[in-house]
Amino acid sequence: MTRAYLSIGSNINPERYVHAAIAALSQRYGELIISPVYQNAAIGFEGDDFYNLVVGLDTDESAEQLAASCREIETEQGRTREAQRFSARTLDIDLLTLGTIIREDVPILPRDEILKYAFALKPLADVAPDERHPTDGRRYADIWAAFSGPSDLQPVAVDFSTDLAL
């Protein structure tokens, strides 16, 4: 089994859809490591604020299989694929890392959003502070401490206890 970290985001009825993502991932993969949820402004377009978090899970799936499972969950929750990359969405689940695997083909690993955006890095640093970025080599806590990009993250209290598989 390999530890994977997924970024989850939503800016259309976000509380509903982050709950749905946690429930679906828990049902498929069992025990999850769940970061705090953060609210932040949309990036790259005018739109409602996003809820973002990171989830860790253990899997024996390949990167392609795990990415396909994420797309399936997104579709089940009403996600439509727009030609425009930056747009409102019910649910966005992105594979950030899969162990120490480095890939230059889709899905690219580690995902570059980790080093670019607070909404990916901060929750990852929350759940995996001592793990190291596969190409950068630094601990996520250290990358976050040195992060100089924009960060308008606001913690949001969300209780996922009823979404988790027993």
Q: What is residue 139's DSSP assignment?
A: B
pTM, two decimal places: 0.92
**Structural domains of the chain sorted by starting position, each given as residue range(s) with its CATH number in brackets:** 2-156 (3.30.70.560)
Check residue 85 and give its pLDDT.
56
Helix/strand/coil for 76: helix
Q: Are 117 and 123 in contact (CB under 8 A)?
A: no
Average pLDDT over residues 64-92: 79
pLDDT tens per residue across span 24-41: 999 999 999 999 999 998
Mean pLDDT, the chain, integer: 91
